[in-house]
A and B are shown apart, each in its own frame.
Chain A
Amino acid sequence: MNRATLITVVAAAAAVLASMTLPSYYASLAVYAVVLSMLGVSVNISSGYLGLMSFGHAAFFGLGAYAAGLLAVRWGVNFWLAVALASLPAAALGAVVGVASLRVSGHYFAIATLVVSEILRLLSLNWISLTRGPLGVVVPRPRIAYFESFGLIFAQYHLMICIVVLALLIEIMRRLVASPYGRAWMALRDKQELAESVGIAPLSHKVGAIALSGGIAGLAGALLVPRILVLSPDLFGTNFSATGLLAVIVGGKGTLLGPVFGGVLFAAAPELLRSIDAYRIAVFALILLLVVRIRPGGLASLLPRGSAGEARNAAIPPSKPVVQAASLAISSISKSFGGLKAIDDVSFSVLRGRILGLIGPNGAGKTTCLSLVSGFLTPSQGSIDIGPRKLTGLSAPRVAEEGVVRTFQHTTLCPMLTVFENVLIGTHLLSPETAWSAVLQTKAYLEREKVRASWAQACLEKVGLAGRHQSEAGALPYGEQRLLSIAVALAARPDFLLLDEPAAGLSGTEAVSLVRLLRQLRDDGVTIILIDHNLRMMMEICDELVVIHHGKMLAQGDPVSVRNDPAVIEAYLGQRRAGEAHAAA
């Protein structure tokens, strides 16, 4: 058992012991605090780690409460078993809302959650035969004789159960956040294109996370039932949605314990401020507004920031399997945007272990070409293949799985994460992972994490940033950010590396070390497609050049023949100079 797990266990045990001494009123209040913390943990997954604001987590919360209550009252299921089952419909609802709203943009998630909670509120209000509408369903207190035989009162052992569940949830979250899943969530939140380029599929990760979030909210709702004992449509109301969001924002979104601070605060606040109870929502709204305006990091940002993810120098050299992949062949691809043909019938192929340069004037379609190959755009016509394997029509993450990884013209990194964390994101595809092994931290999983960490460190060393692994990525000087982007792409262990203007804005010495790095990579067996405007460098480093002009392919060949091609000279230097060049030749 590691130290962090031990801390959780000790803290939970202490809280359980303390709850035995609490009088009923305080124990019941503490139950509310713990339930709100769980709701906060749930909202934190969507609003904190995924950056998707939710205004309707009461939908999941209320659904969990109704599911547990109705199972117990109408179908005679043991209430505590019903609590465990109650998270299932809530998780399923989360998946549905996620699938429905996340294909477009994050805004739609906020709308969809709000609307779903309103639908469920109307449903619970009007489906009288099931829910008794506004009267509500009365749930008998689910006493447990075993606990009472020790002289515990109901509120006390209810609190103990809640504390154990919360501790479990926090421990699960801690492990997930530190796993490839958590890294994928944060990468998708901060820079979705970067995540996709290293093989993180956006929709499935987000939908999975929202389902988890829904399930936790459902569990929280179900655990509230023994305290309120009446299921009423208010469970779906704005009050709980807002409180959950508030607990996260005030506590500190995207932090492990922030939602717990927030949950405790907002359970206690109404008791302390009895006199203003009528204005509770207004006060909450005001706090929400002020915190976002003044201290968006929440309470957790007042605490010192722990050193996240230290580089482990475990010397396990990741063995790269020797893939006898064929060359990458691009066959007469075209891409039009409306009436504009950005790429028009371009074909070329790259042999393994070579550097192919893609050159052409600004706006020629070089980046479009790269986006087509890497799956960020789908060609209107033509095909892209690696030997027998078709890349055409695959999404960017699937293309990355096939070993083709790109970088971006504009520096694309997660600026708030450390250099090391950024590179770790790139290791997503290194070995497949399941959520179970990450939560249970199986021996094999820990071993794989070690391999990922040491591979990330090796990638940083390759680009010469090993000494910077703890710096915030956004704080690096520009040239080092460019190098870091390459390290992130390398971490995905590409067979084909597509670099979009890696030398742009580099100083002379940085450019020289970049050239050395690219040669080294080629010698290691990485095939490189390179876009850059620095023609001297391109001539020097590329084994082959492809010239694109107005979306069409102008020339292909070794640097010397391309340099002397009259059509290329004309495209670059204009008509008159081309004539001169001819005259000179």
Chain B
Amino acid sequence: MFDLVLQQLANGISTGMIYALIALGLTVVFGVMHVINFAHGELYMVGALCSVMLTSRLGIPYILTVPIAAIAGALIAIVTDRIAISPVLPRKDGHALVLITTFAASMLINETVVASAGPGPIPSPGIGGWVLSLGPVALSAQRLLVIGVGLLLVIFLQLMLMRTKFGRSLRAVAQSAWAAEVVGVDVRKIAFLTLALSGLLAGLAGALVVPIVTFSAAMGSHAIINAFVIVVIGSMGSFVGAVVCGVALGVAESIASIAMSSDASSAIIYSLLLVALLLRPQGLFARSAR
């Protein structure tokens, strides 16, 4: 039993890494643009779709499909921006309308995929059958890849936010778009790049996870709700909160699967969002002072 818990812990860290990547995109876009992109989960689904299609239909080696999927995610994010965010946001009640348009965009993307590729499931080979054994715990190469790439990305993003000009501009816009504009930051460009970055992360996450979970068109809507739980508990707009709560959620879900069905654990995890809102609506990682 203990071995099983350890194994699920290890598995949970890898799925948690995926959740963290998805939640990071959502939270950064919210931080910068104050927009909740309801289509964000579908970017992840498109990344996964892109990877399985390229491997199964065109025989492209899995590892090459990962960067392509990331780019596909970014492209869909840009298209979403063009049709559903940028034109609506400057309107009088733009922040309310943008919820509707991104929600509509998510349904459109999903229905398009269901109509063209079918609802799934489609399996993906991943990077192969090699397995790392650490005592009772066995980790497939694919899961190691997820953890490795995830960690690298988190470190890379953190460095980028702190050290580069883009990172500084992004943080400036997040703090005050108006003040950033005054000192010469191109706010629209930063918003555009942030959205593309969120799509990149989501597409990448989709390609990384698809060999583990197999593709289904519904994976995006499941992922976005998980991401909502993560960003609400980890404070909307918080980088650390998204990573910590993302991994924690993956682990919790994985360990819960020992005792209950996935539907039941999902229902419980979704309920955590309501509990979190009732007890600590600003989230665990909210900055105390404005």
B270 contact from A96, A103, A115, A282, Cβ within 8 A = A115
Q: Could you say which of A51, A53, A249 has the most chain B C-beta atoms within 10 Å of its C-beta?
A: A53
Q: How far, in angstroms, from A97 to B105 measured CA to CA in the complex?
A: 25
Rounded to whole angstroms, the CA-CA distance of A233 and B76 in the bound complex is: 31
Asked if B228 and A111 sit within 8 Å, CB to CB, the answer is yes
The one of A97, A104, A284, A289 in contact with B83, judged by C-beta atoms closer than 8 angstroms, is A289
Nearest CB of chain B from residue A59's CB, rounded to whole Å: 11
Contact A104 B277 (CB under 8 A): yes
Partner of A55, one of B103, B264, B267: B103
User: Is there an interface contact between B111 and A111, defined as CB atoms closer than 8 Å?
Assistant: no
CB distance from A52 to the nearest CB of B (A): 8
B257 contacts partner chain A, Cβ-Cβ < 8 Å? no
Q: How many residues of B contact A (CB 8 A)?
A: 44
- Whole-angstrom CA separation of A106 from B97 in the bound complex: 12
- Docked CA distance A238–B266 (Å): 17
Q: Are A285 and B107 in contact (CB under 8 A)?
A: yes
Known contacts A53-B96, A242-B107, A282-B111, A108 near B101 by CB under 8 Å: no
Q: Using a CB-CB cutoff of 8 Å, which residues 352-382 of chain A contact chain B?
A: none
CB of B23, distance to nearest CB on chain A (Å): 13
Q: Identify which of B108, B225, B263, B278 contacts A289 (C-beta below 8 A).
A: B108
Question: In the bound complex, how far is the Cα of B275 from the Cα of A119, in angstroms?
Answer: 13
Provide the bound-state CA to CA distance between A347 and B91, in Å: 43
Asked if B88 is an interface residue, CB under 8 A from chain A, the answer is yes
B259 close to chain A: CB less than 8 A: no
Is B273 part of the binding interface, using a Cβ–Cβ cutoff of 8 Å? yes
In the complex, chain B residues whose CB is within 8 Å of the CB of A338: 289-290
Nearest chain B CB to A85's CB is how many angstroms away? 24
Residues from chain A with a CB closer than 8 A to the CB of B115 are: 278-279, 282
A281 vs B217: C-alpha distance in the bound complex, in angstroms? Answer: 14
Complex-state Cα separation, A52 to B93, whole angstroms: 11
- A125 interface residue per 8 A CB criterion: yes
Residue of B nearest to A110 (CB): B99
Contact of A107 among B83, B88, B99 (CB under 8 A): B99
Cβ of B281 under 8 Å from chain A: yes
Closest-CB distance, B78 to chain A (whole angstroms): 16
Q: Which one of A107, A279, A337 lies within 8 Å of B36 (CB-CB)?
A: A107
> Are A119 and B282 CB-contacts (below 8 A) given A286-B108, A296-B91, A337-B289?
no
In Å, the complex CA distance between A96 and B273 comes to 13
Question: Residue of A at shortest CB range from B36?
Answer: A107
Q: Nearest-CB distance from B166 to chain A (Å)?
A: 26
Interface residues of B in 12-66 (CB under 8 A from A): 30, 36, 38
- A115, A238, A245, A286 — which one has the most chain B CB atoms within 10 A of its CB? A115
- CB pair A104–B281 under 8 Å, yes or no, is yes
B229 at the interface (CB under 8 A from A): yes
Q: Taking the nearest CB of chain B, how far is it from the CB of A107, in angstroms?
A: 5
**Given contacts A104-B281, A245-B100, A286-B108, A293 and B273 within 8 Å (CB-CB):** no
Which of A93-125 touch B at CB < 8 Å? 96-97, 99-101, 103-104, 106-108, 110-112, 114-116, 118-119, 122-123, 125
Does A126 touch B at the CB level, under 8 Å?
yes
Query: Are A53 and B270 interface neighbours, CB within 8 A?
Result: no
Task: Judge whether B290 and A279 touch: CB under 8 Å.
Answer: no
Contact, CB under 8 Å: B104 / A101: no
A274 to B281: give the CA distance in the assembly, Å: 45
The 6 closest A-B pairs by CB, nearest first: A282-B111, A285-B107, A338-B289, A100-B277, A288-B104, A289-B104
Residues of chain B touching chain A, judged by Cβ–Cβ distance below 8 Å, are: 30, 36, 38, 83-84, 87-88, 91, 93, 95-97, 99-101, 103-105, 107-108, 111-112, 115, 221, 225, 228-229, 232, 236, 261, 263-264, 266-267, 270-271, 273-274, 277-278, 281-282, 289-290
20 more CB-based (< 8 A) A-B contacts, given A51-B96, A110-B36, A289-B84: A53-B100, A55-B103, A97-B274, A99-B278, A100-B277, A100-B278, A107-B236, A108-B281, A114-B225, A114-B228, A115-B228, A115-B229, A125-B263, A285-B105, A286-B108, A289-B83, A289-B105, A289-B108, A292-B97, A292-B104
